[in-house]
Amino acid sequence: MILRDERARLLGFNSHAEYALRWLMAKNSETVVAFVDDLQPRFERLAEKELKGLLEQKTAHLASRNESFDGNFYVWDWDFYNRLMMEQKYDLDQSQLSEYFELWHSMDKILEIFSGMLGLEFAKLEPTDYRKLSPDGLITWHEEVVVYGVWDTEVAGLDDDGFLGFLMLDMFPRDGKYPWMANWVLEDPYERPGGKKSRSKPTTALVCNIGPSITGKPTLMTQRDLYGAFHELGHAMNMLVGKNKYARFSPYWTETDFIEAPALMLENWMWNETVLKSVGKHYKTGEPIPDDMLQRFVPTRNLNQALNNLLDIGNVRFDMLIHNQKTHDDIVKLRDMAAPYNRLVFDSTGMKGPDVYDPEHYNK
């Protein structure tokens, strides 16, 4: 933090926040602070109710196990009681839901949705096709990677003129692989010298870690996997349909935070009942997802989301605190980071931290 602040001031900025925000849509720290100040009160009343619900869930859970309870709801209780609430209040067992989302069936169906909406055609390439693209037949970095050629069906059918580029899917975890979900661009769309006809072949890769499958079952997608697939494919589609002249202005090189906008819009599909029904079928029986399960699942989108947003707001305020001090000396003097962090999280969400849980050790 001290070095970041020093660098920003050497470059003529008032703080690291001002330096970093220059490249983002907000542009300056005033916009960020005004944004969260405006947002916070809108969530507070609902968040209070949510926290009360979570506290009741925790009270009942600990009582059922005859465990003692200090009456507090801590930040680290959040994930656990959120899940318990989903299981008990919404009667939704995530592992049962997953049985309707076998990986490759679901991915095909998700691509069908993008295909219909954007007028694209996805054709899976076979390893024999790889030789046409590369003399040694090596076009991927691992044998598990699946490659699709992508065509714009509205331009010129499936001939060369309609060819857009390649989509690669690297879906399984393995040693040494990036452990989250992401979409990466291997080649940007742009026009080579010679104009539109010599456009590059943008290539984009979905890197996921789905599974491993439980013995006897195919690879099934969890709710988080589905969300990730819709989101990351949103990035991939944005890239594949880019019509920019210069690589510098390809969809990947928009403002860093704006790049999320198309993916966020496209991930909305995963909360649509009709879409979910078309994407899922039971891996064993082939049955569609029962309506009552869907009706219980879709409302979980908003479960405890006011609190979740306030937690983000607390993090934003902390970010501003440590990166946006008036003078360099103020940053140097900010020695104890934990206390203001705990206070900001508590102030925004009402959830308590280690300073309350174990004050003796914590406030030393």
Q: Give me the residues that bind Zn ion (CB under 5 A), please.
A: 260, 263
Helix, strand, coil shares, percent, the chain, to 5: 55, 10, 35
| Complex with Zn ion: residue 1 or 25, whichever CB lies closer | 25
Nearer to Zn ion, 85 or 263 (CB): 263
Q: Closest separation between CB of residue 19 and Zn ion, Å? A: 23
CA nearest 5: which of 337, 320, 328, 330? Answer: 328
Nearer to Zn ion, 183 or 349 (CB): 183
Length of the chain as a residue count? 364
Which C-beta is closer to Zn ion: that of 97 or that of 236? 236
Tell the smallest beta-carbon distance from residue 235 to Zn ion (Å): 6
Tokens matching residue 84? 């318990």
Residue of closest CB approach to Zn ion: 263
Contacts of 74 (CB under 8 A, 6+ apart): 351, 352, 353, 356, 357
Cα separation of the two ends of the chain: 23
> Which of residues 97 and 208 has its CB atom nearest to Zn ion in the complex?
208
Q: Tell which residue, 166, 159, 133, 163, has the closest CA to residue 151.
A: 163
User: What are the angstrom distances between the C-alpha of 56 and each of 69, 73, 89?
Assistant: 12, 10, 12
Least distance (Å) between residue 265 CB and Zn ion: 11
What is the closest distance, in whole angstroms, from the C-beta atom of residue 107 to Zn ion in the complex?
A: 18
**CA 213, 236, 299 angle in degrees (round to 5)?**
60
Contacts of 287 (CB under 8 A, 6+ apart): 281
In angstroms, the CA 2 to CA 6 distance is: 6
Strands 163-170, 182-187: parallel, antiparallel or unpaired by DSSP?
unpaired
Q: C-beta of 206: minimal distance to Zn ion in Å?
A: 11
Shortest separation between residue 267's beta carbon and Zn ion, angstroms: 9
Q: Is 232 one of the annotated active-site residues of the chain? A: yes
Long-range (24+ apart) CB contacts under 8 A made by 103-106 are: 103/171, 103/210, 103/211, 103/218, 103/219, 103/220, 103/221, 104/219, 105/281, 105/283, 106/221, 106/226, 106/229, 106/279, 106/280
Q: How many Cα neighbours within 13 Å face the side chain of 326?
A: 0
* Residue 66 in tokens: 């005859």
Beta strands, E only, 52-145: 120-124
Locate 200 and state its tokens: 């590059």
Chain Cα centroid distance, residue 346? 25
Q: Which is nearer to Zn ion, 184 or 362 (CB)?
A: 184
Least distance from Zn ion to the Cβ atom of residue 277, Å = 25
Catalytic residue among 18, 50, 99, 232: 232
Q: Which is nearer to Zn ion, 204 or 325 (CB)?
A: 204
- Give dist(CA 35, CA 345) in Å, integer: 17
* Residues with catalytic roles: 232
